[in-house]
Amino acid sequence: MENCIVIFITTSSLDEAKKLGRTLVEEKLAACSNIMSPVHSIYHWQGELCDDEEALMVLKTKRELFSQIETRVKELHSYEVPEIIAMPIIEGSENYLSWLKNETQ
């Protein structure tokens, strides 16, 4: 469990999230990509207060793949500074976490 993580990534649209999620799963960088859309995001960017609809991706993967995922997301993402944040999985079904590990590089 100690090396399993969840990564959150926001995208500009559902289509962008689907393309990015499919790529990361096909490349075995993530075992699964869940997409929630729309999410409402309020944030500051370049001195302006933004209020946008986005899509939120939730990836399940191994910690050691974070750098590769970050690099790949930056290559494919439409944002100049995409959100790519990870949290550890501290508990989980043994069967699910075993599947997660088997589905990633």
What's the whole-model pTM score? 0.94
* Fold entry, domain 4-103: Alpha-Beta Plaits (3.30.70)
3-state secondary structure 31-48: CEEEEEEEEEEEEEECCE
pLDDT recorded at residue 1:
56
Rounded Cα–Cα distance for residues 103 and 25 (Å)? 8
For residue 55, give both structure tokens: 């899509």
CB atoms within 10 A of CB 68: 15
**Mean pLDDT in runs of 10 for the chain (105 residues)?**
90 98 98 97 96 98 98 97 97 95 94
Query: Are 61 and 4 contacting, i.e. CB atoms less than 8 angstroms apart?
Result: yes
For the chain, give every domain's residue range: 4-103
Rounded Cα–Cα distance for residues 65 and 55 (Å)? 22
CB atoms within 10 A of CB 53: 12
C-alpha angle 74-105-67 in degrees, rounded to nearest 5: 30
| 2 φ/ψ angles, rounded to the nearest 5 degrees | -60, -20
